[in-house]
Amino acid sequence: MSSTTHGANRLEPIRVMVVDDSVVIRGMISRWIDAEPDMKVAASLRTGLDAVNQIERINPDVAVLDIEMPELDGISALPQLLAKKRDLIIIMASTLTRRNAEISFKALSLGASDYIPKPESTREATAADIFHHDLIQKIRHLGAKVRRTAAASPPLAPAQERPQPVAKAAPVAAPLVKRQFGLTAPRALVIGSSTGGPQALMSLVTEIGPVIDRFPVLITQHMPPTFTTILAEHLARSSRRPAAEAVDGEVVKPGRIYLAPGGRHMKVVRHGTDTVIALDDGPPVNFCKPAVDPLFTSAIDVWQGGTLAVILTGMGSDGMRGGKDIVAAGGSVIAQDEATSVVWGMPGAAANAGICAAILPLNQIAPKLVQLFSGVRS
């Protein structure tokens, strides 16, 4: 097989360091990785201390780092690993507990690129299959980006070239922007995000207080149960506005943020003169539950051309089909640009589909939203 089969910019497989005190989990993850032609296990280690002591010798591109380990746990090992290898991609792995969800959020603020929930039991086939799919996709997309960054940079790349949102970025080439903003004044803001989304969302909601105060704001972030509970609390603190997981049947009002709860799709429906939340326990959409497309498509039935959608950093193409529907109904779509996205999958799919009225760095999205919701059309 050609070494460039899985990426013209990468000559060698992505090197992955697996760090977990469970021999069963280490063996399972290692088998999955070695079965992929574009990645390989660089090391399989039992503790965070082993990882810190051996990181320079192993020189991995990606580390899958367990949270709970003897000698040195994942959250303590994280800053030490990044101090020794600044462009290391770290994916935190943990079971679905509130404590581990909180630690995972802390890890993101300390420089981890992403997180993944481990199944409670590896004997549960469906849970193991989802974990397998999600982990390989995260390694592939995040590892490929850091390899592309390294290929385009001097050997000693500065820390700010880690694949995470940055404050400023060069504007995206104009040919991707193919539409004008809709003529109808926006009446609701719907947002979709995935990998890198929690940090991007917290940054965004900090700056859109005037929008939240006057218009409904609904968010779907690809995230499991418990994690969405913690994310809602973080969004409330960042925005200084009420934010919570949406409840089936509750009336949607301005002044608060509604977050799709992990494991259920969030839609909006008309109920008399009110707009209410409708949670859907149907199958995954675009491999995700919650998914962005159901929210986007349902918003059209309520707000028609007054729907304004934002697609932030994330893997895959979720939000693109719903975004097409929004544009067809007279609404508008804004996508985060590639330079400030951890992964330019979702926003890139929307941009390349030609449905975006703007493709902006993260720090320019909030000012644009405030402008548009204040009635300035451009």
CATH number at residue 315: 3.40.50.180
> Does 348 map to a domain?
yes
Give the active site residue among 66, 114, 318, 325: 318
The number of domains in the chain is: 2
Domain boundary among 161, 187, 208: 161
> Does 2 map to a domain?
no
How many Å apart are CA 254 and CA 192, to the nearest integer? 18
Asked if 216 and 188 count as a contact pair (C-beta separation under 8 A), the reply is yes
Q: Which residues share a beta bridge with 314? A: 344
How many Å apart are CA 299 and CA 11, to the nearest integer? 44
Q: Is 234 a catalytic residue?
A: no
Task: Kindly state whether residues 77 and 185 are assigned to the same domain.
Answer: no
Q: Is 280 a catalytic residue?
A: no
Task: Kindly state whether residues 156 and 179 are assigned to the same domain.
Answer: no
Task: Return the H-helix or E-strand segment holding 39.
Answer: strand 39-45
How many Å apart are CA 300 and CA 186, to the nearest integer? 12
Task: Kindly state whether residues 72 and 218 are assigned to the same domain.
Answer: no
> Does 292 map to a domain?
yes
Q: Say what the pTM is.
A: 0.87
**pLDDT given for residue 216 in this prediction:** 97
> Does 279 map to a domain?
yes
Cα angle value 189/194/200 (rounded, 5°): 65
**pLDDT given for residue 336 in this prediction:** 98
Query: Is 52 strand, coil or helix?
Result: helix
Task: Kindly state whether residues 106 and 218 are assigned to the same domain.
Answer: no
Task: Return the H-helix or E-strand segment holding 205.
Answer: helix 197-206
Give the active site residue among 30, 44, 104, 194: 194
Task: Kindly state whether residues 189 and 125 are assigned to the same domain.
Answer: no
CATH number at residue 127: 3.40.50.2300
Q: Is 213 a catalytic residue?
A: no
Type of residue at 370: V
**Structural domain that includes position 325:** 174-373
**pLDDT given for residue 375 in this prediction:** 85
How many Å apart are CA 355 and CA 208, to the nearest integer? 23
Task: Kindly state whether residues 102 and 188 are assigned to the same domain.
Answer: no
pLDDT tens across the length of the chain (378 residues): 444 444 444 468 999 999 999 999 999 999 999 999 999 999 999 999 999 999 999 999 999 999 999 999 999 999 999 999 999 999 999 988 899 999 999 999 999 999 999 887 666 667 788 899 999 999 999 998 766 655 555 444 443 444 444 444 444 444 566 689 999 999 999 999 999 999 999 999 999 999 999 999 999 999 999 999 999 999 999 999 999 999 999 999 999 999 999 999 999 999 999 999 999 999 999 889 999 999 999 999 999 999 999 999 999 999 999 999 999 999 999 999 999 999 999 999 999 999 999 999 999 999 999 999 998 776
Domain boundary among 161, 190, 224: 161
Task: Kindly state whether residues 247 and 363 are assigned to the same domain.
Answer: yes
Task: Kindly state whether residues 102 and 208 are assigned to the same domain.
Answer: no
Name the residue among 118, 108, 113 with its Cα closest to residue 32.
118
Domain boundary among 138, 161, 184: 161
Give the active site residue among 141, 222, 234, 265: 222
**pLDDT given for residue 7 in this prediction:** 43
How many Å apart are CA 297 and CA 348, to the nearest integer? 19
> Does 334 map to a domain?
yes
Task: Kindly state whether residues 214 and 141 are assigned to the same domain.
Answer: no
